[in-house]
Amino acid sequence: MKIGYQPIGVVHSPFTEIEGMPIQPSRAKGVSGTAEVFPQYVEGLADLEGFSHIILLCHLHRSRGFRLKVVPFLDTELWGLFATRAPNRPNPIGLSVVCLVDIEQNRLSVKDIDILDGTPVLDIKPYVPEFNERTEATLGWLGSARKRKALSGERFK
């Protein structure tokens, strides 16, 4: 089965090169960007104001190929791709929870963005803690990696 999605918009961010970019919104605190929504979808933005955070689902368009075992940004060991948030995947979809600052017509001003400039937006959803938060969540390999050390800073030197 082939699935074809059309972008509903495009991300504008300060990041024009992958090198040196933040690896997650939590590591991009205060970084401003815009999600521009194409005119035919603007009506669907109604009632989004009032949500402090939104989920941006993006097509990571500069992703090239994938490996099923990867060394993630936060570690030095190989782990199964689907146990990571690595951008190179069979379907390179990025999921970013960003802060919604303002909506002006078809432009959503956001903060904490970890997405490259020009990235196609596939969908926008409100972030609802009740739906997403799992206080009982465990972190698998990432839990022990965090205990060892966080390597993201070194990776992007």
Residue 23 carries which side chain, given as an amino acid letter?
I
Q: How far is CA 50 from CA 8, 93, 127, 148, in A?
A: 21, 26, 11, 39
Helix (H, G, I), strand (E, B) or coil at 143: helix
Instruction: Determine, following the binding rule CB under 6 A, whether residue 18 of this chain makes contact with ligand SAM.
Output: yes
Which is closer to ligand SAM, CB of 34 or CB of 96? 96
Which is closer to ligand SAM, CB of 16 or CB of 135? 16
Among 8, 31, 37, 116, binds ligand SAM (CB under 6 A): 116
The answer to whether residues 143 and 42 touch, using CB atoms and an 8 Å cutoff, is no
Instruction: Determine, following the binding rule CB under 6 A, whether residue 125 of this chain makes contact with ligand SAM.
Output: no
Q: Which residues bind to ligand SAM, rule: CB under 6 A?
A: 18, 21-24, 60-63, 85, 87, 94-96, 114-116, 119
